[in-house]
């Protein structure tokens, strides 16, 4: 049972103070992004923190030495002490002015590296599970939305690292200044040492509470962002204009956005009570401190040097930053960075993959190798059952199917029969709910997914259209061989895409998107040729199983006929699985199976199935009649 979303503004009990949580979350990442710079950064932080304390003490001593120097002159021992102290103050100030920007520059550089590291981890985490079930898990999608917020507005790890460069020196400086006040009144120094950690703790809780607001509303925010993206991105642009959807879309976006964000607005500010209490405590301790210092100075209980030192110490104690943006950035990091790392751990443990999440990932830790050249005998679905995440109805219900190696198999059936689900399970994109899939007797659940996928070339019905060059679009079928132009040309020729690529403005280097300078877009049929070429490139690079899911859906009549004529040539020597509604392609397969309600209900050759007079014969007759009627009408 999934965990219920936490109400907006409700803060869980932290195991550590929020400020410390944020610091540790960021600091743990620094050695991973750079081995040397974090040490230089730490030294810089310590130096920038201690130098102001040294300046304060030296300045106080300098002020106290001036009367004696004036009486004795600059050549007197007192004068020389004053000049020495003046030189020391100057040297310390110069050192502080040099080290501060250097430390902040190191922080900015480390921050950029941390952000890049987290973005790379996010990409790796999402692709860590063997399948894609996790991308349909609402909880994972909610965490992904938070993780994608890294680098946006205040949820930026680089700002948190920069905040450390400013906050840590001030905290150390304030603590050091409070320690100096111990020599004035021990209880006053202890009061300063105690009050700031308490103030920081409560203010950091407020910042973390503010930072967490909205994380329990990820579903609502995702809906609002979806509506926004519909209005500003190309896919729906034509329909928005043709159907006059803009006003409706704008109104629906505003409603969705307000319903998601108004609870955030109501609590996204530090609470007055916390601000009053913390600010009041700081005000009271300052009044008491300066009052005691003034009283002691006017009574003559303190020397001029002591008054100067304690005045500087009080100023330093008030530098304990807590009410500024950098503290807020650090607190937001205490929310966003751990959530990103939690997502990484969750997906590494199996994400939405049923078997891995259930603890069966150990089977893959000792993966069985596939036989050389597999499949050489048969790919077998053995009593396979499958239900999509969150669905109630099974997509496959006890599917038994043998796919003979080196032969072609066509899969037909009505919409929702389970054809595409079969393909997805064959590719390892999902794990069966029950049953198993074997290749030459080896259970795919016990093999390394990449080893099997290297042997599969797939043309999905909803293939991706990459905003990359034509060469990249085809070469991604086997990225390790993408630089082989001869192989690219051979794949394009086999898919009938070679002339298309050569006709592009920049040939193979043309970006297939009008969103980029010099780029072009393609028709649906042209894109399908490119996608088929990508699958054929994988075959040329060594894949032995070819899966074609509706390979002619977007092709015109001539291109479809050309593909039909070359079907046997394309599939020669391969284990081929063809999913199609077009029986002119299906009939060329060695064997045909009919799916219904997630199971095989008929199997045989085209002739055998027609003779049987079952579902296949009925579907074939209906389709043939439609074409005959269309031809007669046209005539």
- What pLDDT, on a 0 to 100 scale, did the predictor assign at position 356? 42
β-pairing, 408-413 vs 396-404, is unpaired
Q: What is the pLDDT of residues 420-437, one digit of tens each?
A: 899 999 998 889 999 999
Using CA atoms, how far apart are residues 510 and 77, in angstroms rounded to an integer? 81
Pairing of strands 456-459, 545-549: parallel
Please name the residue that has the structure tokens 């089977």: 363
Supply 555's token pair: 């092709």
Q: To the nearest 10°, the Cα dihedral for 289, 295, 300, 303?
A: 20
Contact in structure between 567 and 576 (CB atoms under 8 Å): no
Residues 6+ apart with CB under 8 A from 21: 14, 15, 208, 334, 338
- Is there a common fold for 377-455+544-635 and 465-543? yes
Instruction: Give the class (CATH, top level) of 18-213+268-352.
Output: mainly alpha
Give the Cα separation of 382 and 380 in Å (integer): 6
Tokens 């150990």 locate to 362
Q: How many CB atoms lie within 10 A of CB 566?
A: 13
The predicted structure's pLDDT at residue 432: 93
Query: Quick check: 330 and 164 in contact, CB under 8 A?
Result: yes
Instruction: Give 3-state DSSP helix, strand, coil % of the chain, rounded to 5.
Output: 65, 10, 30
Secondary structure class of 223 (helix, strand, coil): helix
Q: Return the domain boundaries, the chain.
A: 18-213+268-352, 377-455+544-635, 465-543
Length of the chain: 635
How many C-beta atoms lie closer than 10 Å to residue 294's C-beta?
A: 12
- Regions of the chain with pLDDT less than 50: 1-14, 150-152, 352-365, 630-635
Torsion-angle region of 406 (φ positive above 0: left; ψ -120 to 50: alpha; else: beta) = left
The pLDDT, as a whole number, for residue 181 is: 85
Q: What percent of the chain shows pLDDT beyond 70?
A: 80
Scanning the structure block, which residue is given the tokens 């919409």? 415
Do residues 454 and 543 lie in contact, with contact meaning Cβ atoms separated by under 8 Å? yes
State the maximum Cα–Cα separation within the chain, in Å, rounded to a whole number: 124
Out of 3.40.50.300, 3.10.580.10, 3.30.750.24, 1.10.3720.10, the CATH code matching 377-455+544-635 is 3.40.50.300
Is this prediction's pTM over 0.75? no
**Domain 465-543 -> CATH class:** alpha beta
């Amino acid at each position: 049972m999934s965990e219920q979303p936490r109400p907006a503004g409700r803060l869980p009990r932290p195991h550590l103070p929020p400020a410390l949580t944020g610091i540790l979350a960021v600091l743990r990442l620094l050695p991973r992004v750079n081995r040397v710079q974090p040490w230089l950064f730490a030294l810089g932080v310590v130096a920038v923190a201690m130098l102001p304390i040294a300046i304060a003490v030296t300045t106080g001593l300098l002020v106290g030495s001036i009367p004696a120097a004036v009486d004795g002159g600059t050549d007197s021992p007192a004068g020389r002490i004053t000049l020495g102290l003046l030189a020391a103050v100057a040297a310390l100030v110069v050192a502080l002015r040099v080290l501060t920007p250097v430390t902040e520059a190191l922080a900015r550089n480390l921050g950029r590296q941390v952000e890049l590291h987290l973005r790379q981890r996010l990409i790796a985490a999402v692709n860590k599970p063997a399948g894609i079930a996790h991308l349909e898990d609402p909880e994972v999608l909610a965490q992904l939305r938070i993780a994608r917020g890294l680098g946006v507005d205040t949820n930026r790890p680089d700002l948190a690292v920069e905040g450390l460069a400013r906050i840590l020196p001030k905290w150390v400086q304030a603590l050091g200044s409070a320690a100096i006040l111990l020599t004035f009144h021990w209880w006053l120094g202890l009061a300063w040492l105690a009050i700031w950690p308490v103030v920081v703790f409560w203010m950091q809780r407020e910042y973390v509470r503010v930072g967490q607001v909205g994380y329990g509303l990820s579903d609502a925010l995702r809906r609002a962002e979806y509506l926004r993206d519909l209005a500003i991105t190309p896919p729906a642009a034509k329909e928005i204009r043709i159907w006059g959807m803009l006003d409706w879309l704008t109104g629906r976006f505003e409603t969705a956005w307000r319903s998601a964000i108004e609870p955030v607005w109501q609590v996204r500010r530090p609470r007055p009570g916390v601000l009053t209490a913390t600010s009041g405590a700081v005000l009271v301790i300052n009044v008491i401190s300066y009052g005691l210092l003034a009283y002691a100075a006017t009574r003559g209980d303190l020397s001029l040097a002591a008054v100067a030192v304690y005045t500087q110490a009080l100023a330093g104690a008030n530098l304990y930053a807590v009410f500024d943006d950098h503290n807020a950035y650090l607190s937001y990091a205490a929310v966003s960075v751990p959530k990103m790392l939690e997502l990484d751990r969750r997906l590494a443990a199996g994400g939405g993959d049923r078997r891995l999440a259930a603890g069966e990932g150990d089977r893959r830790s000792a993966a069985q190798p596939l036989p050389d050249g597999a499949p050489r005998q048969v790919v077998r679905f053995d009593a396979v059952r499958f239900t999509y995440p969150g669905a109630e109805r099974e997509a496959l219900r006890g599917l038994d199917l043998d796919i003979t190696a080196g032969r072609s198999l066509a899969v037909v059936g009505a919409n929702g029969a389970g054809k595409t689900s079969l393909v997805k399970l064959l590719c390892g994109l999902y794990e069966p709910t029950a049953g198993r899939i074997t290749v030459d007797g080896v259970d795919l659940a016990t093999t390394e997914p990449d080893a099997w996928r290297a042997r599969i070339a797939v043309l999905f019905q909803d293939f991706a259209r990459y905003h990359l060059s034509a060469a990249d679009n085809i070469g991604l079928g086997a990225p390790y061989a993408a630089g082989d132009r001869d192989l690219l040309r051979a794949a394009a020729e086999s898919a009938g895409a070679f002339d298309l690529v050569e006709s592009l403005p920049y040939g193979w280097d043309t970006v297939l998107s009008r969103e980029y300078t010099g780029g072009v877009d393609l028709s649906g049929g042209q894109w399908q040729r490119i996608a088929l070429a990508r699958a054929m490139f994988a075959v040329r690079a060594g894949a032995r199983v070819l899966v074609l899911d509706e390979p002619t859906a977007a092709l015109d009549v001539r291109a479809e006929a050309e593909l039909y004529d070359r079907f046997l040539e394309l599939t020669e020597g391969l284990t081929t699985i063809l999913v199609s509604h077009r029986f002119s392609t299906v009939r060329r397969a060695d064997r045909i199976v009919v799916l219904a309600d997630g199971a095989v209900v008929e199997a045989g050759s085209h002739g055998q199935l027609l003779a049987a007079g079952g579902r296949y014969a009925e579907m074939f007759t209906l389709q043939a009649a439609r074409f005959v009627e269309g031809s007669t009408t046209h005539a």
